[in-house]
Amino acid sequence: MSSPDPLTADLRRLEEIVRLLEREDVDLDRALALFEEGVRHLKSAKERLNEAEARVARVLEDASGEVSLTDLDD
């Protein structure tokens, strides 16, 4: 079995952190540590998504097969 890509790993860990933070038995120090870790994973995931968006914008092809740059927000 192959390991998940970094984005998938970040998202899975974020889901796990949310589940842990929702528990009532998490003490404040542990909650803060989990929150800080979650922020790091969120930043990493956002950077990967921004990189992917930039790659897609560079590679979009129009109907005639010519490569054209298109802003994804259009």
- Single out the residue of 45, 50, 53, 38 nearest to residue 5, CA to CA: 45
- Give the model's confidence band at 3: pLDDT under 50 very low, under 70 low, under 90 confident, else very high: confident
Single pTM value for the model: 0.73
**More confident position, 36 or 57:** 36
Give dist(CA 22, CA 40) in Å, integer. 19
Give the tens place of pLDDT for each residue, 18-33: 999 999 999 999 999 9
Give dist(CA 6, CA 14) in Å, integer. 12
Which ranges of the chain would DSSP assign to H, the alpha helix? 6-22, 28-59
Q: What is the DSSP string of 45-60?
A: HHHHHHHHHHHHHHH-
Give the tens place of pLDDT for each residue, 34-45: 999 999 999 999
pLDDT reported for residue 20: 97
pLDDT reported for residue 62: 57
